[in-house]
Chains A and B, each alone.
Chain A
Amino acid sequence: MQTQNTAQSNDVLLEARNLNKFYGPFHALEDVSMELKKGDIKVICGPSGSGKSTLIRCMNFLEIPEQGDVIFKGEKVEDSAKSLRALRSQMCMVFQSFNLYPHLTILENCTLAPIWVNKTPRKEAEEQAMHHLERVKIANQANKYPSQLSGGQQQRVAIARGLTMNPEVILFDEPTSALDPEMIKEVLDVMISLGNSGQSMVCVTHEMGFAREVADSVTFMADGQIIETGNPDEFFTNPKTDRAKDFLSHVL
């Protein structure tokens, strides 16, 4: 029994336990719990204002939940500089609005954290950055500045920037929502290839095709609560709740 428990907890990479988050009187997250197993891809979907972005931002403490715990690799995350540095150096986030550093070149964007957070020697960091930029097929733009790139290219750089930290988990916060339709695919392709290589990911997204294709589980949220969680086949073909049925009828 004891051994089974440890095996189980080792399997779970990231866990949220009974998170509660308030914005003034607004209850943004109500007792939300979820877990991510190593190598899994979890898609969180739901109507806007449902708390899905808040949830994913609580995972790396960009938003600090008022109640509840985030457990990463078996350890409870504390709101202290040391604990957060340990958490964030192993977990990266891709934002809706890319948030590349506009005053630095693409290559510098991708080497800053490895050099200063992980203390990687510059030369090695640059080689690794180029490797990851090649992975997202943008290595030839390494010396340009972010504003010289298209939205899709910028988002791929943002993914590469995260990969340079060799993260255990990548959090995607609506990575394609700010993109023109023709650029969505190039970003999704990168995400799919990451998923196929065994990268653990949590994705808040409206791309239901993506969810169907690669997700290991889909979580549907509404009004700050998790309404249902299931594997994608089940969720898309036979949602259990009316709320989910209603949502799917609008997005599919």
Chain B
Amino acid sequence: MVVIAFLSTAFIEVARSVPMITVLFVASIMFPFFVPEGVEVDKLLRTIIAVSLFAGAYMAEVIRGGLQAVEPGQYEASAAMGHGYWQSMRFIILPQALRISIPAIVNLFIGFFKDTTLVLVIGLFDLLNMVLSATSDPKWLGFEVEGYVFAAAVYFIFCFSMGHYSRRLEAKQKQR
């Protein structure tokens, strides 16, 4: 248990103290040097795994904050009623901790959603980079603005809906 806790803390601290671009470079350029000859992992898959782990470190901190915000009395009440650690987490603590964390989780989602455009630096194409490369296509000549506006609209709709959904969840939670 102590070992797991130490490894988790170490991972979170390292991941949070490294810029996302570094993580992307490690996944796309450094990683192939460390695997044996012949083994090949798809670049997109490598990037997805790296970004997931990176985001996971931030998410872990958000959830920790939620766990600490649950009243100590809730831990005591569930223990006094005879629930063990896993039961008390599953039925009593986590449902409350996650609800408390909703705004921070959505905030994180929006941030990482926008950060995905950074994959440009390792030569992957996301929506924005697609538009960027499309503008060099002669067929698109004169429609650059429309392309960018479309990309902006997509980002706005996604981020706005996420924010809105979070606010609705919060309002629903407040009714209780």
Binding site for B on A (CB under 8 A): 60, 62, 81, 84-85, 88-89, 92-93, 95, 97, 99-103, 112-113, 116-117, 145, 147, 161-162, 165
Contacts and interface: CB of A to CB of B under 8 A. Distances in A.
B76 interface: yes
A112 B81 contact: yes
Contact of B79 (A62, A102, A112): A62
A103 B77 contact: no
B162 to A, nearest CB: 23
B73 A88 contact: no
B82 A99 contact: no
Contact of B84 (A81, A99, A145): A81
B81 A165 contact: yes
Contacts of B92: 101, 112
Interface residues of B, number: 20
B16 interface: no
A116 B74 contact: no
Contacts of B99: 103
Contact of A85 (B77, B82, B176): B82
Interface of B: 71, 73-74, 76-85, 87, 91-92, 95-96, 99, 176
Nearest to A63: B76
B82 A161 contact: no
Given A101-B74, A116-B87, A116-B91, A88 B96 contact: no
Nearest to A96: B73
22 contacts: A60-B80, A62-B76, A62-B80, A81-B84, A84-B79, A85-B82, A88-B79, A89-B82, A92-B80, A93-B77, A93-B80, A97-B73, A102-B176, A112-B81, A112-B91, A113-B81, A113-B82, A116-B91, A117-B83, A117-B87, A165-B81, A165-B82
